[in-house]
Chains A and B, each alone.
Chain A
Amino acid sequence: MMRQCVTAVVSRNETWTGSAASEPYECGWAGEAIVWLRCLSAKGKLAAARARVQISPDGMRWVDEGTKLKFPAKEGALTHARIAHFGNFLRVVADLPKGASAKILFTLTLKE
């Protein structure tokens, strides 16, 4: 059998401010994932913004998985992180400086 590979657009044109989180995404069938964050537009000073991957046993309670990724601070910027062994639920959270915001495209590339 060929390996399944799926692209999931979890957040499209969402405005993120302050402590932001993507919707949870269940993908336990996948053994590996690439988390992509693309900035569609930016307002304010985003240089200090940070993003990280979280995992969950049930899709409701979240802990840091340990992977951090750069926050895409300028329009058109694209950042990513490769992860594996993440269980069943994934999401990305970000902390943006006060007064700053970004429109985000959050994509998962998932593969068995």
Chain B
Amino acid sequence: MDIARALRQSNPKLSRFDPMSRIIAFDDFDDGFCGWTQLVGNYEHTLDSMLPGYAQHTQPQLSNLANWDSGTHGAFDGNYALKIQTRPKKGAQNVALKRLTFREPGPIRLEFYFTFKPEATELRLSETDVRSVGFLYDLQTGFEKGGSRVMPHVRFLNASDGVHLQKWQTKSRTTAIKPLGTEGKTVTHYHLAPTDWEDLPGGEQKLCYNEIPTKVNWHYVRYDFDLRTMRALSLRCNDREWDISGVDPIVMPAMRNLWCMLNICFFAEADTDKRTLFYVDSVCLSGEFA
């Protein structure tokens, strides 16, 4: 194992990550979208049946962070990052996700580098135009395990109604589950509703926003979760780490077609009528299994 660690640490792309023993996915967006796509809401017979929160979603983009005043900023490494872009409306959201299943219900670690900015439509600092950026897992136990769907949510609440809050939050509840259509096979719920976010104790954190809306700095996140107990373990962002083992994820009864689901989502929310731009480069998902 020391050899494996030495090999990882000598690889410039992986050396900035601290993965568990097995790398499940390593997504560098210079290689393309790597399986990251838009979260499309559920529907039956007509797209009109999709909840409005999902209907607003659009395709993620491969961005070189091009700016009107200073040209291409580039990504953490190479030229391209994954960009999740909201519509230019207060409260607008967008979600990108990668859909996997798991083979070993044990500890997993999500690591990624991120940055965010509002669209630079004004010559102002604009530090409160982004409401939040965040991530979540959408999980379900194996069929034989009886069954829960589990959705741990984490967001960095940057601002709300113009107040610069800069704190981490989690969520333990979703909206009521509603049937869709007429066939009795599809349901929906809106887990990214603005309600039910709770402050992570001690979760205030000042990030490096920089000094105009076209300069970005990349930040590191590490999130540990145990698929056996279906509970989070810890959250780290840059130089801060929190024990979040006491934080309850959203839990609901298992759904009929989602066994062993392991979906990872990134989401962005706007706090003003400007597009929020959430960039990720790159992502490493690892697990502890033989």
**A residues neighboring B (CB under 8 Å):** 4, 6, 8-13, 23-29, 40, 57-61, 88-89
The segment out of B12-20, B53-61, B173-181, B263-271 that lies at the interface is: B53-61
Residues on A with beta carbons closer than 8 Å to the beta carbon of B66: 26, 28, 57-59, 88-89
Task: Using A23-B87, A58-B68 as known contacts, say yes or no to A13 and B61 having CB atoms under 8 A apart.
Answer: no
Residues on A with beta carbons closer than 8 Å to the beta carbon of B120: 58, 60
Question: How near does chain B come to A49, taking the closest CB pair, in angstroms?
Answer: 21
Bound: A10/B61 CA distance, A: 10
**25 examples of A-B residue contacts, CB within 8 angstroms:** A6-B32, A6-B33, A9-B38, A9-B59, A10-B58, A10-B59, A12-B58, A13-B47, A13-B50, A24-B85, A25-B59, A25-B61, A26-B61, A26-B63, A26-B64, A29-B80, A40-B47, A58-B68, A59-B119, A60-B119, A60-B120, A60-B121, A61-B68, A88-B64, A89-B66
Bound: A29/B255 CA distance, A: 39
Residues on A with beta carbons closer than 8 Å to the beta carbon of B55: 12-13
Task: Using A10-B58, A10-B59, A29-B62 as known contacts, say yes or no to A4 and B47 having CB atoms under 8 A apart.
Answer: no
**B residues neighboring A (CB under 8 Å):** 32-33, 38, 40, 47-48, 50, 55, 58-59, 61-64, 66-68, 80, 83, 85, 87, 119-121
Question: How near does chain A come to B272, taking the closest CB pair, in angstroms?
Answer: 15
Residues on A with beta carbons closer than 8 Å to the beta carbon of B64: 26, 28, 88
Chain A residue nearest in CB terms to B38: A9
Residues on A with beta carbons closer than 8 Å to the beta carbon of B40: 12
Task: Known pairs A12-B58, A29-B80, A61-B68; list 16 more (Cβ under 8 Å).
Answer: A4-B32, A6-B32, A8-B61, A9-B38, A9-B59, A10-B58, A13-B47, A13-B48, A13-B50, A23-B87, A25-B59, A26-B62, A26-B64, A26-B66, A57-B68, A89-B66
9 tightest A-B contacts by CB?
A58-B68, A8-B59, A13-B47, A26-B61, A26-B63, A4-B32, A29-B62, A88-B66, A23-B58
Bound: A10/B40 CA distance, A: 12
Bound: A9/B67 CA distance, A: 24
Most chain A beta-carbon neighbours within 10 Å: one of B33, B40, B47, B120: B47
Task: Using A13-B50, A23-B87, A26-B83 as known contacts, say yes or no to A60 and B62 having CB atoms under 8 A apart.
Answer: no
Residues on A with beta carbons closer than 8 Å to the beta carbon of B38: 9
B85, A23: Cβ atoms closer than 8 Å: yes
Bound: A6/B32 CA distance, A: 9
Chain B residue nearest in CB terms to A1: B31
Task: Using A58-B68, A59-B119 as known contacts, say yes or no to A27 and B62 having CB atoms under 8 A apart.
Answer: yes
Question: How near does chain B come to A100, taking the closest CB pair, in angstroms?
Answer: 19
Bound: A27/B119 CA distance, A: 17
Question: How near does chain A come to B253, taking the closest CB pair, in angstroms?
Answer: 29
Question: How near does chain B come to A103, taking the closest CB pair, in angstroms?
Answer: 8
Bound: A13/B59 CA distance, A: 14
Residues on B with beta carbons closer than 8 Å to the beta carbon of A40: 47
Bound: A79/B85 CA distance, A: 26
Residues on A with beta carbons closer than 8 Å to the beta carbon of B62: 26-27, 29
Residues on A with beta carbons closer than 8 Å to the beta carbon of B80: 29
A9, B58: Cβ atoms closer than 8 Å: yes
Question: How near does chain B come to A79, taking the closest CB pair, in angstroms?
Answer: 19
Residues on B with beta carbons closer than 8 Å to the beta carbon of A24: 85
